[in-house]
Structure 1
């Protein structure tokens, strides 16, 4: 069972780059983070289903990282230490619907 969860919500910058966004996330970003942070055991991605009346909103995606790490503070520090060494992507919306990131500890 995961001891810490990292939830990251992102939106592609536009419909034109959505396929590249998914390719980068799956083939570049997730492998780089897993290599840099060995306590990441599983990564699952999900698509948000819009609420009624909000169907025109851009797609939002959630990545759930499971970590075998008791200390959420240490997991946070490891992530922020690893990010500068990862490959950035201009396919992520950083202004209109910027990414969100939350760490949760198992109770």
Structure 2
């Protein structure tokens, strides 16, 4: 069981979903895994809009961490960004629906 999670919400620039998906899978996930050694697995999902709305697709990536030290993991991710080791893309929506990161530590008997 994961000891902590990094939940990353993001959206593609309208019309760039395929390029965004390719960048996320082939570039961004490997960059994040290299930055945070405690990442043990990653799953990605796309929001299913059952209302028929026209909002840009929203994605979520769930990074599982093997330890609960989210402060260290967040620091490692920040350091990688500052050092240019997280390669950017112009396919991610940074203004209309910018990325949002949330960190969670396990609770209960398995924590």
TM-score (norm 1): 0.91
Aligned positions, number? 105
More helix by share: 1
RMSD of aligned residue pairs (Cα, Å): 1.2
Q: 1:89 maps to which residue?
A: 89
Structure 2 partner of 1:20:
19
**Offset of residue 51 of structure 1:** 4.8
Does residue 101 (structure 1) correspond to residue 101 (structure 2)? The answer is yes
2:49 aligned residue: 50
* Distance across 2 between alignment mates of 1:90 and 1:75: 25
User: Which structure 1 segments of 5+ residues have no match?
Assistant: none
**Counterparts of 2:55 and 2:14, CA distance in 1:** 11
Task: Return 5+ residue gaps in structure 2 as ranges.
Answer: none
TM-score, length-scaled by structure 2: 0.88
